[in-house]
């Protein structure tokens, strides 16, 4: 796995000095300002530091939870603001360090993940925050037994949140009805350039982590093995009986609408249940419930594509990074 510094005007030997200056001046008027860390980056070493952080933090918690799901969510939310219509948003810039993105409701609780990664940044100062946030999700998935994710370095850091996309681009868990929620899920993912199969594959990341009432308002894990990447999320969706949650710890549930299994220990969001109520989504849920290898294959490609959104195209045949294979 190699690291690549993004192509820039000043590194292109085919541009004359005059042309480079002219084009640079033009781009400066329309592009956000970025800060690119310098120095060599050992991708394997950075991933190792992230994994060490996950393990140390899990030992300190000693409650069966970890940063695995939180790092996946960080990588997801750092990238999932992309719009293919105007090419705004996405993982370039690492703008969640600043307002307004840091204060988006959908990013509640991710300050914990960003703060935890400061120790990794201190160990590897050459890596950009934009790369680090995405890589934390990659390392977490692989550490949890998931597939290897194709990943390249090269994202640059914005110097402010001025170029942040508008709030509201990340998916909501509930739009008040199955029809509305299904339409919302498609609207969010289609905006980024994903199809139904990729949508279902990406939502399989709910095998990891849990919801917290002090962040999203929802409560509980999706599976009994929240630190292990598997197709269990899909199996549970199709095999368990899911009913609206009405009680919690012996008291009436007062949080947002969610679903629970027969034990009351597992949960599904309305957007999860939407996957088995929509025929197109459901066929992929059933497919992945039966074939974990297929799920891992599709997830790895879709997640790599997600993390590349908003990053300038590679000079190699003009293809995005995720289309190299």
Name the token pair of 82. Answer: 């992309």
Among 77, 124, 143, 184, which one carries the catalytic annotation?
Answer: 77
In angstroms, what CA-CA distances link 90 with 76, 78, 145, 150, 253? 10, 6, 26, 17, 36
Cα–Cα dist 175/107, whole Å: 18
76 is catalytic: no
Which spans in 164-239 are helix H?
Answer: 178-192, 196-203, 232-239
How wide is the angle at C-alpha 231 spanned by C-alphas 228 and 84, nearest 5°?
100
Cα–Cα dist 94/96, whole Å: 6
In angstroms, what CA-CA distances link 37 with 31, 112, 227? 18, 23, 32
% helix, strand, coil for the chain, step of 5:
50, 5, 45
Judge residue 93's burial from the number of C-beta atoms within 10 Å of its C-beta, 0-12 exposed, 13-18 middle, 19 or more buried.
Answer: buried
222 is catalytic: yes
Eight-state DSSP code of residue 194: -
Cα–Cα dist 52/91, whole Å: 24
Which spans in the chain are helix H?
Answer: 17-30, 43-61, 68-79, 110-116, 118-123, 129-143, 178-192, 196-203, 232-239, 270-277, 279-290, 292-308
Nearest alpha-carbon partner for 82 in 142, 170, 209, 207: 170
Among 76, 219, 222, 321, which one carries the catalytic annotation?
Answer: 222
Nearest alpha-carbon partner for 104 in 41, 174, 168: 168
Q: Please provide residue 163's backbone torsions phi and psi, each rounded to the nearest 5 degrees.
A: -95, 10
| Catalytic residue numbers, as ranges | 77, 222
């Amino acid at each position: 796995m190699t690291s690549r510094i993004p192509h820039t005007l000043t590194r292109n030997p085919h541009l004359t000095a005059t042309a480079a200056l002219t084009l640079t001046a033009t781009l400066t008027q329309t592009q956000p300002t970025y800060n690119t860390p310098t120095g060599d980056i050992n991708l394997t070493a950075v991933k190792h530091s992230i994994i060490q952080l996950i393990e140390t933090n899990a030992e300190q918690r000693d409650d069966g939870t970890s940063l695995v799901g939180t790092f996946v969510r960080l990588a997801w939310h750092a990238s999932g603001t992309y719009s293919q219509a105007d090419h705004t948003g996405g993982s370039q810039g690492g703008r969640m360090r600043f307002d307004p993105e840091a204060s988006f409701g959908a990013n509640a609780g991710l300050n914990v993940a960003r703060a935890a990664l400061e120790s990794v940044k201190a160990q590897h100062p050459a890596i950009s925050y934009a790369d680090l946030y995405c890589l934390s999700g990659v390392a977490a998935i692989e550490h949890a037994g998931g597939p290897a994710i194709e990943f390249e370095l090269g994202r640059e850091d914005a110097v402010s949140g001025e170029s942040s996309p508008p709030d509201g681009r990340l998916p909501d868990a509930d739009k008040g009805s199955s029809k509305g929620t299904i339409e919302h899920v498609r609207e969010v993912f289609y905006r980024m350039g994903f199809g139904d199969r990729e949508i279902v594959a990406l939502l399989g990341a709910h095998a990891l982590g849990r919801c917290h009432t002090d962040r999203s308002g929802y409560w509980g894990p999706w599976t009994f093995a929240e630190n292990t990447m598997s197709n269990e999320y899909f199996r549970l969706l199709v095999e368990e009986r899911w009913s609206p949650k009405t009680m919690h710890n012996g008291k009436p549930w007062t949080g947002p609408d969610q679903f629970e299994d027969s034990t009351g220990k597992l949960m599904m969001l309305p957007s999860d249940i939407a996957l088995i109520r929509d025929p197109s989504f459901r066929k992929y849920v059933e497919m992945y419930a039966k074939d974990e290898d297929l799920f891992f294959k599709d997830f790895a490609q879709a997640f790599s594509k997600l993390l590349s959104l908003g990053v300038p195209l590679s000079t190699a045949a003009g293809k995005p990074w995720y289309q190299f294979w």
